[in-house]
């Protein structure tokens, strides 16, 4: 089954079912994260680094529309 088909079925679920589905999918993603991400201080350092890059202009960031267009392209 294609990702688009799965998504189209998932959005028809009740809010509670979608939340449950998101949680169990996230658990599989979380399991695939590198071990370094188990440490909260590593995550905080990464967030701070990315935020500083954004504030300084080194990273331009994306608009709401760009984020959702990218997400839709990944699903489609």
Q: Six-digit token pair at 28?
A: 């599989």
pTM of the model: 0.43
Mean of the pLDDT values across residues 27-49?
Answer: 78
Which of 11-20, 21-30, 46-55 is the least confident region? 21-30
Mean of the pLDDT values across residues 46-55?
Answer: 92
Which of 7-11, 31-35, 42-46, 56-60 is the least confident region? 31-35
Nearest partner of 13 among 23, 1, 2, 28, judged by Cα: 23
Separation CA 29–CA 31 (nearest Å): 5
- No. of H helices and E strands in the chain? 4, 0
Q: Six-digit token pair at 59?
A: 């990273």
- Give me the residue spans of the domains in the chain: 1-32, 36-76
């Amino acid at each position: 089954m294609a990702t688009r088909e799965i998504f189209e079925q998932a959005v028809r679920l009740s809010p509670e079912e979608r939340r449950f589905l998101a949680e169990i999918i996230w658990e599989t993603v979380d399991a695939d994260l590198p071990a370094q991400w188990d440490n909260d201080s590593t995550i905080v350092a990464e967030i701070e680094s990315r935020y500083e890059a954004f504030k300084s202009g080194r990273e331009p960031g994306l608009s709401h529309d760009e984020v959702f267009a990218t997400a839709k392209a990944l699903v489609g």
